[in-house]
Amino acid sequence: MIENTELASAVEIRGKGKAIDDYCKRVLSNKDVVSFILKKLVLDNKGYCGIKESNIVDESIPGARIEYDKLYEVKLPKTKIFVNIEAQSKENPGYPLMNRAVYYVSRLIDRQKNKSEGFMKSRYGEMKEVYSIWIVMDMDVKKEEMIEVHTFPEKEDKTLMNIIMVYPLKEDSENEVIRFLHILFVSDMEAAKKKQILEEKYKIKMTRELEEAMDDMCNVIEYYERKSRVEALAEGKEVGIVEGEINTTLKAIEKIEKNMNLSREEAMDVLEISKELKSKILDRLKEVKS
């Protein structure tokens, strides 16, 4: 039950920087969500025997530590596979994203040698297939919807290394997994509507415990909708600061502090509050205390 409560809370946080990273990791920790992604992108709607979350930190190569967003060991009837899932906000983060994906699947192969879950000594025939799924949420890319699949070796019965790049940017896509991922990671629809669709259409379990968390987190979303107007006011483009705008910002800060266990300053950094507005908010908080 806790797992699904965390998912319900996470659906609301879609902010920037640390907030969006935290949101993605929490959503991708939910086994209902992961199961749907696996069945649609990896298993071709076939079932599996079990799924286990693996250690995301890989220090198998000295001085070359990497940390995956999520890593799962998936047990199939006759074997197992390893699936890494990454949520990426930009297609071009300053380097070719595909190069990073290639490196990740290479590391997932490398870490299998002489491990009980992999293969021993020279038994390369027992090497397990690995998958790296990248959910790219960059709204600036021209690819409205796309799923790119890259495999190696291409002509063998067993494709050891598999890279899947997903661009879930189209809300009304004919592809079910793109629609699903769009709702989770891209759509700005209201929380109640997201929750309803995920429960009814995709059978993602939610709990009543999420109601209050969703209402609270709506303040964060509302903050971003009003952010430009608030900053315009702070810069003197309009006269004064509307009381409702300040209250919205304060609520967003409080919820970020609570849900992400951050200090007040860190919460304001997550919300990308300008120095001018930050000063006014701190003054307001002092007034409240006095």
pTM, rounded to two decimals: 0.71
Residues 6+ apart with CB under 8 A from 273: 249, 281
User: Which pLDDT belongs to residue 290?
Assistant: 59
Taking 3-state DSSP, the helix, strand and coil percentages for the chain, each rounded to the nearest 5, stand at 45, 15, 40
User: Which pLDDT belongs to residue 102?
Assistant: 96
Opening angle at CA 142, ends 141 and 143, nearest 5: 95
User: Which pLDDT belongs to residue 28?
Assistant: 83
Question: What is the SS3 assignment for 213?
Answer: helix
Q: Are 252 and 219 in contact (CB under 8 A)?
A: yes
pLDDT tens-digit readout, 22-63: 777 777 887 888 999 999 999 887 778 899 999 999 998 889
pLDDT tens-digit readout, 49-106: 899 999 999 998 889 999 999 999 999 998 999 999 998 877 778 889 999 999 999 9
Closest among 11, 58, 1 to 31, alpha carbons compared: 1
* Count of beta carbons in the 10 Å neighbourhood of residue 268: 21
Residue with tokens 């209402």: 215
Return d(Cα 188, Cα 206) in angstroms, integer: 19
User: Which pLDDT belongs to residue 237?
Assistant: 45
Return d(Cα 231, Cα 241) in angstroms, integer: 9
Provide Rg for the chain, Cα atoms: 22
Ranges of the chain whose pLDDT falls below 70: 1-20, 139-145, 154-156, 207-245, 288-290
User: Which pLDDT belongs to residue 27?
Assistant: 79
User: Which pLDDT belongs to residue 60?
Assistant: 82
Q: Are 259 and 19 in contact (CB under 8 A)?
A: no
Closest among 12, 18, 77, 4 to 271, alpha carbons compared: 18
Question: What is the SS3 assignment for 259?
Answer: helix
Closest among 13, 21, 179 to 88, alpha carbons compared: 21
